[in-house]
Amino acid sequence: MAVVAGQPRLIVRGGRRLSGAVAVSGAKNSALKLMVASLLAPGASVLRNVPDIQDVRTMQEVLEHLGAVVEFADGTMTVDTAEVQSHVAPYELVQRMRASIQIMGPLVARFGRARVAMPGGCNLGPRKIDIHLRGLADMGGTIRSDHGFVEVAADRLRAINMFLDYPSVGATENLLMAAVLAEGTTTLENAAREPEIVDLCKFLVSMGADIEGAGSSTLRINGVSEMHPAEHTVLGDRIEAGTFLIAGAVTGGDVEVTGISPHVLELFLFKLRSVGVQVQENTRSIKASGDPRSYGGVDVATLPYPGFATDLQAQMMVLLSIAKGVSVVTENVFENRFGFVDELIRLGAEIRVDGNHAVVSGGRSLTGAIVRCPDLRAGAALAIAGLAAEGCTELREVYHIDRGYEQFEQKLQALGADVERVGVGSGPCSSL
Ligand code: EPU
């Protein structure tokens, strides 16, 4: 495997127990949508607890490309949309970050037009946008596609009653942001219920929107004629919290994550307990500890919230590789989210994939190896596997991790992990 010039790698030396507390950052999948929602009102909205991660920086570029003025320092972001001129998200940005398509709803709602490069396939599978487009078309939008772009235009969107084919997170958010300025009362049934959508609803309401049912599968949105800028603090990142809890558990450590309500991780915490991890819940923190020798396998099936989050599936697979017994992991959300399994096998895991099922034969002792990160969550999972492995693990293509985890290795180091980022050249794992 050749080292790509200029690409940093993570070197993880396993075998250390992680111990201590880690403060979770603001949720990536909320912050990105709140940034976009600020397009709905002219003027400057202020977001706090925004994570400084690559995807947020890319969304900043998207907004600046549209003409917004964005300032971002020490977790506080100001998005001033007074001078927004453009309605186009170019291919270069959408291809770097799919969530750029979320500008469609707010731009059509406020400016009557949005033109966005089609996202195409990605490493989690095809990831269609048909539900987004069907909703916008039903709201009176004219949809056209040419030259690899999709364009939506409407003088003023009108309210709809829509039953979503699937509780898509992105479609729910796009249609919600379109409906807040539409004429009449929109009802979205079978809507997604993720905590990040509740966070978005809170922000929209503080901007002047009228929304009922946040957190339920039926959202009722009474359209208003205008919105105003607002201030909001991004909720904690439940996926980051889950990632660090598993990192502690696989090392036989004792890790507390703070700045997160346990109720957003209910099923995940139930599964951790079923494995044999001791979990202590407090109002705004969660602690996990345990002895890997006593862990046993469990079956896990990913589902939309409040089901088991697909974004924690890869990390869970590492824990199940160590826990004794056979576990079956079923991925129901994305078509292609077992891409990291071959890498995990290189570290000594025994996993057989059949369609959307992975059969994990646990109780393995992992050993360090060179692996590549196929996507964001898989990258985090492989780092966790490295922490549990004997010897040195070298992670390549770690830019995936930087998309969604703020200060990833620094937070691990603070818990006692032996992990460092190195540049090109022969790394400390050169013996591999
Ligand atoms: N889908 C359709 N048609 C649509 C929309 C979605 O068929 O119009 C399908 C997708 O192809 C996919 C499934 O529905 O198979 C789920 O997609 P969804 O729209 O719910 O997800 P998303 O909005 O694209 C967000 C997160 C993901 C997270 C999923 C599920 C953001 C920026 N991304 O994606 O986060 O896995 O919800 O919870 O919010 C990550 O953070 O690593 C990540 C991938």
Residue showing tokens 């997160």 = 260
Token representation of residue 198: 């509740």
Q: What angle do CA 100, 172, 314 make, to 5 degrees?
A: 70
Task: Say whether the peptide bond before residue 195 is cis (omega within 30 degrees of 0).
Answer: no
For residues 148-175, average pLDDT: 96
Centre of ligand 1 to C-alpha 425, Å, is 37
- Of all protein residues, whose CA lies closest to atom 33 belonging to ligand 1? 29
- What is the per-residue pLDDT for 431? 62
DSSP string, 290-316: --GGG-B---EEB-STTSB-GGGHHHH
pLDDT tens by residue, 372-424? 999 999 999 999 999 999 999 999 999 999 999 999 999 999 999 999 999 87
- Inform me whether the pLDDT recorded for 23 exceeds 70: yes
Centre of ligand 1 to C-alpha 165, Å, is 13
Closest alpha carbon to 381 in 289, 247, 266:
247
Q: How far apart are CA 360 and CA 350, in angstroms?
A: 6
- Of all protein residues, whose CA lies closest to atom 7 belonging to ligand 1? 128
Q: How far apart are CA 425 and CA 203, in angstroms?
A: 46
pLDDT tens by residue, 246-291? 999 999 999 999 999 999 999 999 999 999 999 999 999 999 999 9
- What is the per-residue pLDDT for 423? 84
For residues 163-175, average pLDDT: 97
Q: Judge whether 211 and 219 are in contact, CB under 8 Å.
A: yes
Cα 362 to the chain's mean position, in Å? 27
Ligand 1 atom closest to residue 311's alpha carbon, by position in its atom list: 36
SS3 394: strand
SS3 391: coil
- What is the per-residue pLDDT for 426? 58
Centre of ligand 1 to C-alpha 384, Å, is 24
Is residue 127 very low, low, confident or very high in pLDDT (cuts 50, 70, 90)?
confident
Closest alpha carbon to 265 in 292, 294, 235, 290:
235
DSSP code for 180: T
Cα dihedral sign, 122-123-129-132: negative
Q: In sequence order, what are the beta bridge partners of 161?
A: 187
Any alpha helices (H) in 86-129, and if so which ranges? 91-96, 104-111
- What is the per-residue pLDDT for 2? 41
SS3 content of the chain, % helix, strand, coil (to 5): 35, 25, 35
Is residue 139 very low, low, confident or very high in pLDDT (cuts 50, 70, 90)?
very high
Give the number of residues written for the chain: 432
- What is the per-residue pLDDT for 287? 98
- What is the per-residue pLDDT for 47? 98
Active site annotation includes 429: no
Closest alpha carbon to 349 in 308, 382, 372:
382
Give burial (CB, 10 Å; 0-12/13-18/19+) of 146.
exposed
393: phi then psi, degrees, rounded to nearest 5: -115, 135
Q: How far apart are CA 421 and CA 200, in angstroms?
A: 34
- What is the per-residue pLDDT for 120? 66
CA dihedral 416, 418, 423, 424 (to 10 degrees): -170
Token representation of residue 209: 């929107």
- Inform me whether the pLDDT recorded for 67 exceeds 50: yes
Q: Cβ < 6 Å from ligand 1: which residues?
A: 28-29, 32, 99, 127-132, 166, 168-171, 310-311, 333-334, 376-377, 404
Q: Judge whether 119 and 101 are in contact, CB under 8 Å.
A: yes
CB atoms within 10 A of CB 148: 10
Ligand 1 atom closest to residue 376's alpha carbon, by position in its atom list: 42
Ligand 1 atom closest to residue 404's alpha carbon, by position in its atom list: 41
Q: Judge whether 348 and 385 are in contact, CB under 8 Å.
A: no
DSSP code for 101: G
DSSP code for 365: P
Select the more confidently predicted residue: 122 or 189.
189
CB atoms within 10 A of CB 283: 7
Percent of the chain with pLDDT over 70: 96
Token representation of residue 361: 């034969």
- Of all protein residues, whose CA lies closest to atom 10 belonging to ligand 1? 127
Query: What's the alpha-carbon Rg for the chain, to the nearest Å?
Result: 22
Is residue 3 very low, low, confident or very high in pLDDT (cuts 50, 70, 90)?
very low
Ligand 1 atom closest to residue 334's alpha carbon, by position in its atom list: 15
Q: Which of 122, 201, 373, 392 is catalytic?
A: 122
Centre of ligand 1 to C-alpha 100, Å, is 13
- What is the per-residue pLDDT for 1? 38
- Of all protein residues, whose CA lies closest to atom 17 belonging to ligand 1? 168
Q: How far apart are CA 262 and CA 221, in angstroms?
A: 29
Q: How far apart are CA 73 and CA 46, in angstroms?
A: 12
